[in-house]
Amino acid sequence: MSATPEAVALARSAAHAASEALGSDIVALDVSSQLVITDVFVVVSAPSERQVLSIVDRVEERLLTVDGVKPVRREGRSGGRWVLLDFADIVVHVFLDEDREFYALERLWKDCPVVDVAEAVAAAGAPAEAPAATDEEA
């Protein structure tokens, strides 16, 4: 069993929004064969609690205005370290960098296939990583 096309499209939309709000290390995992309650986890990192909340706001706004869906549940917004947005078909996890490392969702779900969201992230105009310094520059 794999994620529905609708869930994959929502995951890509959420990844796009998270990238617009400067989320980093955006990964989507197809958990449909492991869970019956959702198809895709979208996992995003942020360097500060303020940025976590900014990403959450942007994801909610885009999924409502572009995709016409509201979260059925939100968890963790008051803390701002790990916010979970449950849209039924997808669940978006926005973590403070150190909390993501601590909880290691990707390690827990390592057997699940990755949903390609690279194009959606790139379309959001996410900044490219800086190239490594060459010997001449160093």
Does residue 27 surpass a pLDDT of 60?
yes
Segments forming the whole domain that contains residue 107: 5-123
Average pLDDT of the chain is 90
Question: From the centroid of its chain, how far is CA 130?
Answer: 22
For 83, the token pair is 């916010």
- pTM of the entire predicted model: 0.87
Report how far residue 133's alpha carbon sits from residue 64's, in angstroms, rounded to the nearest whole number: 42
Note the pLDDT of residue 26.
Answer: 96
Q: How many domains does the chain have?
A: 1
135 in a structural domain: no
40 in a structural domain: yes
Report how far residue 28's alpha carbon sits from residue 55's, in angstroms, rounded to the nearest whole number: 16
131 in a structural domain: no
27 in a structural domain: yes
- CATH assignment at residue 94: 3.30.460.10
Report how far residue 100's alpha carbon sits from residue 80's, in angstroms, rounded to the nearest whole number: 12
130 in a structural domain: no
Give the residue from 6, 1, 130, 10 showing the smallest Cα distance to 70.
Answer: 10
61 membership: H or E segment, kind and range: helix 49-65
47-99 pLDDT tens trace: 999 999 999 999 999 999 999 999 999 999 888 899 999 999 999 999 999 99
Contacts of 106 (CB under 8 A, 6+ apart): 27, 29, 43
Proportion of the chain above pLDDT 70, given as a percent: 90
66 in a structural domain: yes
Of 89-93, 104-108, 127-131, the least confident: 127-131
87 in a structural domain: yes
17 in a structural domain: yes
